[in-house]
Amino acid sequence: MSTDAPRRYRTVPGLAELGDGRISYAERSMPLLAALASRFAAERPFDGMIIAACLHVTAETAVLVRALRAGGARVRLAASNPLSTQDDIAAALASGDGVEVFARAGVDRDTYYEHIALALGADRPGGIGDAEGPDLVLDDGGDLVSTLHTRARPEVLDRVRGGCEGTTTGVLRLRRMAADGTLAFPVIAASDTPVTRLVDNRHGTAQSVIDGLLRASGILLAGKTVVVAGFGACGVGIAESARALGARVVITEVDPVRALDAVLRGFLVLPLADAAPIGEVFITATGSTDVITGQHLAVMRDGAILANAGHFDVEIDVRALAALAVGVQSDVRPHADAYELADGRRLLLLAEGRVVNLVAANGHPPEVMDLAFGIEALTLARLARTSQRLPAAVHPVPSDIDAEAAQMVLAALGTRTDSLTPAQRAYLASWRLGS
Amino acid sequence: MSAEPYKVADIHLADFGRKEIQLAEHEMPGLMATRAEYAESQPLRGARITGSLHMTIQTAVLIETLVALGAQVRWASCNIFSTQDHAAAAIAVGPDGTPDDPKGIPVFAWKGETLDEYWWCTVQALTWPNGEAPNMILDDGGDATLFVHKGAEYEAAGAVPSPSETDSEEWVVILDKLRDSLADAPGKWTKAVETIKGVTEETTTGVHRLYEMHKAGSLKFPAINVNDSVTKSKFDNKYGCRHSLIDGINRGTDVLIGGKVALVLGYGDVGKGCAESLRGQGARVIVTEIDPICALQAAMDGYQVSTLDDVVGQVDIFVTTTGNKDIILAADMAKMKHQAIVGNIGHFDNEIDMAGLAATPGIKRVNVKPQVDEWRFPDGHTIIVLSEGRLLNLGNATGHPSFVMSNSFTNQVMAQIEIFTKPEAYPVGVYTLPKHLDEKVARLHLDALGVKLTVLSKDQADYIGVPVEGPYKPDHYRY
């Protein structure tokens, strides 16, 4: 393994300054992390600890990293996607903040995993798991946790006090690791809190996926037939946003409860095989694999646009698309590749089938990431402070953390809420009072 | 001819009606502001207004506004199902009368009139004491205007023609009424068209008739098209129907609208409001259109645009909004899903072919409750028809909410004042209200909603070339 790859990276003059400016801009929209940075600076919950993080390297991530460092942590950061790194942000963190950053936009698969290994300490004399192994891990998609489990010695895993996972995809992986007994330390599933489901998936993904779709394709959505595969929290938000922009939205689902929800919201629900010939835009948001396959691609309309909002690039079968194609025009627009089929049809694949909101746009807006990252920061602080390690399993975010984060955001927005009176509390706690 | 002072379903409903009128007055700030503004000048003094417009609580506030401005009024409803009997009773009794000593205005309207009764009521509203003729008409759908024009035409011809086989049931009734009238009071309608200074017309259907008549050279007095005031057509047609369509479907059927497939036939202002509210309730809405501009608008708003033929078998709720006829035919209804709901929110009952439905061999009609009928086809499938194909928002619910009607009716009052006080400005023809009056109607409703209007500076007004106090938009501006 090459251990000097990051050392080869040289930042372009001015790049770090550009990134620093964008981080400052994001900070203004991230009041929760700002409040936490002040609190952490006073309480120093991470003093002397190493946090290994695998996150999309964006301005918002940088604000999180700064809050963790304010709490005393050393942070080693790798990207959680080969395409999503914003190089100016990486440069700013590396040169200005002194964070150990292992990330660059547009790397290949091997380099991507090499970066993760480096964040785990692979460049130390003892390799992953020398004396400087992570105390806490912060993951986004599960690649860092899975690399740690496959490559580190058992005592290194024992040292990890716990981790935090930010995406649904990662949580699904962790649950499978826990189910087969592999998971060696506790992980909190931060993607799964009621507040993040609402704000991050529903609102953040919705806005930024549409943003990515529009930037990459340049189309007018009004009047288009948009097929959204998956009606989970992300799919709901994407579908509602697309509809608000005038699209006619078709939903595909495997879960009858979600499908019923879609129908009752007035969406047309079809099997993907039936939706494939009528859709003009396809957005996958399932967290699953092989959603749009060759059989669907074979019957799509000329000019159909394909985009994936799920974490991994497995929802659209890009290989099948390549196999069907007789020619590919790369980057007909930035992040849009036109695949020409034998019969003359052209299908437009956005962001190479990778997560479109991060590749073709800037990911979630900072307000959304503020809440998601604030919950993760609060969770890591709780893990850091808990004297007895939790069992090695996937745990939910404690509900008081969820509520505290929401309350802090509301305070920052200047929104005031009511509180239950003692009499109301007593009423809700009692079964004796009826009509 | 009868000389009854009024005819309503039950005069003892007046107290209930008066309470609802008082509630509605609060929701009709435009009309109440108009009463205050013209209390002294009495611009409608001397006006004898015959009104043919749904006799609802909101119309009661309109009628009493006309009276407050000095007018004498006689009234009939313009639909056999749309009268609210307590509203009619309250108008007959008046604010100062009692059921035993009514002091209101002559109103001839009740819910569930036969066609014969309906036209009898219209004739009563047009028939003034002492042989006088009305000098103003306030019309909704054009029935009163049609009647006096046809009366004058047949008086000039010397006879009422005999109905032909293909004439509608309603036309046969109209001819009967005119034949009676020509026998009883010859020259009555000729005098009426000479006396009437003008008509103010409420709705698309009536406006369409007026333009046709004017084009054919048969229009005898000027008309103001109130329907196309922005504060009428957008508010009444779009926002009003958006509210009352759902209300009518809910009251009539109590079906969950979420998840249903709804077909909105026509995407004008009414169709736009209907589609929006059906979608808001979670229905999947499909639109049909004949006009490429409206069809494109529907597509841009995210609706599937298709034809009735293509989707008739998958739709749960059908709503006609076209103002045209023969939109849903019996053959279409035969192909509908079991228990599909069929309703019309267009003005007339000719959008859904009820006669054709009734004539379907082997079909059976089962009345579920007032204004809700289940029609069973020989193959066993049934459809639910609301309000016998007449406008369901009035038949199954209570029509537009008061606030919306306050916009429409304040336009009506402005139009009545315009024609009555400035007849010289309106030679025979069809007019829309001047823009400054349209803006005035809107302005009269802002305070009640807590709206704060920004005021142009003189410099800004000069920059875009409008007066500071308006009108702000050219006549061709589409809001």
Quote the ipTM score.
Answer: 0.70
Higher pLDDT, A200 or B113: B113
pTM over 0.80: no
Identify the pLDDT of residue A4. 45
What per-residue confidence (pLDDT) applies to B399?
80
Instruction: Respond yes or no: is residue B411 known to be catalytic.
Output: no
pLDDT-flagged residues of chain B (< 50): 1-2
Average pLDDT, chain A: 91
Q: What is the pLDDT of residue A9?
A: 63
pLDDT at site A1? 36
Let me know if B54 is a catalytic residue. yes
- Strand, coil or helix: what is A101? strand
**Percent of chain A at pLDDT exceeding 70:** 96
Query: What's the whole-number mean pLDDT along residues A20-34?
Result: 93
Q: What is the mean pLDDT of residues A369-376?
A: 92
State phi, psi for B304 to the nearest 5 degrees.
-70, 130
For A246, the closest of B278, B283, B300 (CB atoms) is B300
pLDDT at A86 over 50: yes
User: Is residue A7 predicted with pLDDT exceeding 80?
Assistant: no
CA distance A240 to chain B (A): 11
Determine the distance from the C-alpha atom of residue B107 to the mean position of all C-alpha atoms in its chain, rounded to a whole number: 17
Mutation target to probe the A interface, by most A beta carbons within 10 A, among B284, B287, B294, B311 is B284
- Taking only the tens place, the pLDDT of each residue in A389-402 is 999 999 999 999 99
Position A5 pLDDT exceeds 50: no
Beta carbons of B302 and A266 less than 8 Å apart: no
Determine which helix (DSSP H) or strand (DSSP E) holds A431, and give its type and residue range.
Answer: none
B52, B58, B124, B227: the catalytic one is B227
Neighbouring C-beta atoms of residue A128, cutoff 10 Å: 23
Q: Which of residues 207-226 of A touch B (CB under 8 A)?
A: 222-223
- Taking only the tens place, the pLDDT of each residue in A206-248 is 899 999 999 999 999 999 999 999 999 999 999 999 999 999 9
CB pairs under 8 A between A and B: 41
Name the residue among A223, A245, A266 with its Cβ closest to that of B284. A266
A chain contacts of residue B299, beta-carbon cutoff 8 Å: 222-223, 248
DSSP-derived letter for residue A36 is H
Flag if A246 and B284 touch (Cβ within 8 Å): no
Is the pLDDT at A352 greater than 50? The verdict is: yes
Dist. CA B292–CA B289, nearest whole Å: 7
Please name the member of B256, B283, B304 whose beta carbon is closest to the beta carbon of A248.
B304
Is position B241 annotated as part of the catalytic site?
yes
Among B279, B300, B316, the strongest candidate for a mutation testing the A interface, having the largest count of A CBs within 10 A, is B300
Q: Is B293 on the interface with A (CB under 8 A)?
A: no
Mean pLDDT of A82-88: 92
Amino acid A126: pLDDT: 63
**Mean of pLDDT values over A324-332:** 95
- Interchain pair B304, A246: CB under 8 A: no
Secondary structure of chain B as H, E, C letters: CCCCCCECCCHHHHHHHHHHHHHHHHHCHHHHHHHHHCCCCCCCCCCEEEEECCCCHHHHHHHHHHHHCCCEEEEECCCCCCCCHHHHHHHHHCCCCECCECCCCCEECCCCCCHHHHHHHHHHHHCCHHHCCCCEEEECCCHHHHHHHHHHHHHHHCCCCCCCCCCCHHHHHHHHHHHHHHHHCCCHHHHHHHHCCEEEECCHHHHHHHHHHHHHCCCCCCEEECCCCHHHHHHHHHHHHHHHHHHHHHHHHCCCCCCCEEEEECCCHHHHHHHHHHHHCCCEEEEECCCHHHHHHHHHCCCEECCHHHHHHHCCEEEECCCCCCCECHHHHHCCCCCEEEEECCCCCCCECHHHHHCCCCCEEEEEECCEEEEECCCCCEEEEEHHHCEHHHHCCCCCCHHHHHHHHHHHHHHHHHHHHCHHHCCCCEEECCHHHHHHHHHHHHHHHCCCCCCCCHHHHHHHCCCCCCCCCCCCCCC
B205 CA: distance to closest CA in chain A (Å): 30
Using the beta-carbon criterion (under 8 Å), do A265 and B303 form an inter-chain contact? Answer: no
Contact list in B for residue A247 (CB cut-off 8 A) is 302
For residue A368, what pLDDT is reported? Answer: 85
Which one of B278, B284, B300 has the shortest CB-CB distance to A222? B300
Active-site residue identified among B84, B124, B225, B237: B237
Chain B within 8 Å of A231 (Cβ-Cβ)? no
B360 touches chain A (CB under 8 A): no
Annotated catalytic residue B132:
no
CA distance B266 to chain A (A): 17
Nearest CA distance, B397 vs chain A (angstrom):
24
pLDDT digits (tens, 9 = 90+) for B292-305: 999 999 999 999 99
Please indicate if any CB of chain A lies within 8 Å of the CB of B255: no
**Sign of the alpha-carbon torsion through A309, A313, A315, A318:** positive
Contact A268 B279 (CB under 8 A): no
Residue-wise pLDDT for A395-434, tens only, equals: 999 999 999 999 998 888 888 989 999 999 998 988 887 7
Please say if B412 is a catalytic residue.
yes
Closest chain B residue to A222, measured at CA: B300
